[in-house]
Amino acid sequence: MPVEARLSNGQLFSWREIERYPRDWLAEANLPSTWDLRGTSMEQVMRALRRVVDRHEALRTTYHVAGGTPVQRVHETVEPPVLHDDRVVTDPSEHERTKAEQLAIPFAMEDDLNWRARLVSTDGVPLYMTLTFSHLIVDVWSIHHIQDQFKALLADPGATAVTGPAPREVGRRQREESWRPRQESSERYWRGVLEQGLTDALPTLPARVKRDRLELTLHSRALGGYAAEAGRMHGVTAPAVLMAFVAAGLARHLGTDRVTLSLMSSNRFAPEDQHNVGTMNQLIPFVAGVDLRATLAEHVRRLHWASARAYRHSCYDIDRIAAMAAGLGERPGHDCWVNHLFRAWFNYIQVDRAPSDPRDPAPAELAWTPLAQQYGQAFRVRVEVRGGRTSVLMLADPEVLPAEAMTDVMRTVAAGTRLAVTDPGRALKDLWGAGATPPPELFPSEPPPA
C-alpha cells in the first residue's frame, strides 16, 4: 500500500522549477550516470540494483497533484525500470551515445518513477548500464551515493551503508515546530534581499514561454588553477573567486554598483543530511556590492562572505517565499515566481578531484552554442571542473547582454582571476584598463563572433 506525503522543501523547489519548463525542454531536468558492469553477471547486477531500490524511497516515489498541490507517493515495492539490450559492442565510446540518447528522453513528472536504466550486454554478459534520473527525485550528490552503494553490493551482497532520512521524513521534519526558527530565519533573510531589490534590469519570462538567448562557453585548463590559488591566498573558495568576477562583469554592463546573484545550495550542511538520497538543492539569492575602488582582494573576500551568509538560509518553502514576496508588493507580471525571484544565478560543479594547474599552457577556447536554452532566467553562469579543465558556461538575454558584452564578462572573469593571484592590490576598476589582458591560456586572443 503506497504512502502519500507532502513534499520536502527541496522536492517542492524542484517541482516548481521543472513545471515551468516548456514541454519540449523537459529533458533538461534529467541527470545521467553510467556504471561499468564488466566482470559481473546479470544476476549480480539485478540483485544489487533491487537492493538499492529497496533501500531508498526516492527510487520508489512517484509524484501526483492533489487539489492543485504536488504530493509524493512512496511505493512499498517497485520493479526497477530497466530496459535490456543484448548486442555486440565494438566502439569503446558507445556508452556515451547511449547516455546521450537516454538523457534526451523527458519524464512525465506525474505518475512516473522519474528514473530509468538501460543495461547493455553481449551474449548475456553485462557491459554497462546507463541510468537517467529526474532532478525531481535526486540530485547529483544522491547519484554518487547510489552508485557507491551499488558497487559495494556487487562486491558483497551483504554490504550495508549509512543512510540519511528519506525525503518524506525530511519533509515531515521541516514542518515540525522545532523547524520554525529556521523557517523564520530564512524568511527574514529573504525579506532583506527583497527590500534591497532584485536585479530589475533582467527581464523574466512566464512559465513555458521561450525567448531567444545566447550561450557562450569558455574552456581553460589554467583558469581553475588560478582560482584555487587565489582562494588559498585570500582565505576563500575557488568558486567564490570566479563568482566575484562574474558579478563585476555583470555589474559593469548593467551600469550598477550592485547585483543580485542566486547560488545553488546542496543543503547538506548538517551531518544527518550527508547521506540523504533525494533532491535537496535550492537556489538562494544574495545582494553583491561591486565597489570599483576596492582592491581585487577586497572584492573577492566581500563576495565570498556575502555568499556564505546566504547559504545559511538556503532551505525554505518556495511557495511561502512567493506569497511573502507578493505581500511585499513584488509583482512578476506573469505566472512564474521561480524566474522572478532568481533572475541571475551562478552554479559551480566539481565533477572529479583532478587538480587544475595554473601553469598549463594549453590555449583557452571560447565557443557559442548553436541553440541556447530559450527559457528561464535572463542570466546564468554554470562552472564545471572536470579532468583539470574548467568550463564556464554563460547564458544571457541578448537585449540585456549582447554578444560583445558576454564576451567581455568572460574576459573579466579570466583577467580578474589571474590578477587576484599576481596583483591582488590592483583596483577593481583597472580590470578594464591597460595591462589587464589575460594570456591565451586563460582567454583566446581572437574571440569568435556570435
> pTM (2 decimals)?
0.94
Please, how many CA atoms are within 13 Å of residue 278, restricted to the half-sphere of its CB?
A: 32
Any alpha helices (H) in 200-295, and if so which ranges?
223-234, 238-254
Q: What is the pLDDT of residue 201?
A: 77
Give the position of cell 592590490: 425
Is pLDDT above 90 for 200? no
Is pLDDT above 90 for 230? yes
Asked whether 145 and 152 are in contact (CB, 8 A), the reply is no
For the chain, give the mean pLDDT. Answer: 95
Three-state SS for 428?
A: helix
Asked whether 398 and 213 are in contact (CB, 8 A), the reply is yes
Look up residue 259 and give its amino acid.
V
131 Cβ neighbours under 8 A, 6+ residues apart:
32, 33, 34, 35, 102, 115, 116, 117
For 376-393, what is the mean pLDDT? 95
Orientation of helix 238-254 relative to helix 296-311, angle to 10°: 110
339 Cβ neighbours under 8 A, 6+ residues apart:
20, 204, 205, 206, 207, 332, 376, 377
Is pLDDT above 90 for 248? yes
Burial of 277 from C-beta contacts in 10 A (0-12 / 13-18 / 19+): buried
Show the domains of the chain with their CATH numbers.
3-172 (3.30.559.10), 197-432 (3.30.559.30)
Closest C-alpha to 27, from 96, 116, 94: 116
Phi, psi of 167 (to 5 degrees): -55, -40
| pLDDT tier for residue 203 given thresholds of 50, 70 and 90 | confident
In order of 47, 74, 163, 185, 222, the CA distances from 2 in angstroms are 23, 5, 21, 34, 52
Distance CA 153, CA 157 (A): 5
For 417-442, what is the mean pLDDT? 95
Give the position of cell 574548467: 390
User: CA torsion, points 420, 390, 33, 157, in degrees to nearest 10?
Assistant: -60
pLDDT digits 0-9 by tens, 136-177: 999 999 999 999 999 999 999 999 999 999 999 999 999 999
Residues of the chain with pLDDT > 70, as a percent, come to 100
Closest C-alpha to 267, from 377, 170, 132, 386: 170
Is pLDDT above 80 for 358? yes
Of the chain, the end-to-end C-alpha distance in Å amounts to 55
For 389-399, what is the mean pLDDT? 96
Q: What is the pLDDT of residue 434?
A: 84
Strand partners, 261: 286
Is pLDDT above 90 for 333? no
| pLDDT tier for residue 331 given thresholds of 50, 70 and 90 | confident
Beginning with the edge strand found earlier in the chain, give each strand of the sheet holding 389-396 in spatial order: 282-289, 258-265, 344-350, 379-386, 389-396, 214-220, 365-368
Any alpha helices (H) in 60-179, and if so which ranges?
94-103, 140-155, 167-173
Closest C-alpha to 351, from 383, 384, 390: 384
pLDDT digits 0-9 by tens, 48-72: 999 999 999 999 999 999 888 999 9
Q: What is the pLDDT of residue 40?
A: 97
Asked whether 230 and 421 are in contact (CB, 8 A), the reply is yes
| pLDDT tier for residue 199 given thresholds of 50, 70 and 90 | confident
Residues of the chain with pLDDT > 90, as a percent, come to 91
Three-state SS for 6?
A: strand
Distance CA 237, CA 309 (A): 14
Is pLDDT above 90 for 202? no
Asked whether 8 and 169 are in contact (CB, 8 A), the reply is no
Q: How far from the centroid of its chain's Cα atoms is residue 334's Cα?
A: 25
Is pLDDT above 80 for 438? yes
All three cell numbers of 70, joined, read 504536488
Asked whether 447 and 368 are in contact (CB, 8 A), the reply is no
In order of 197, 321, 337, 341, the CA distances from 330 in angstroms are 10, 11, 10, 9
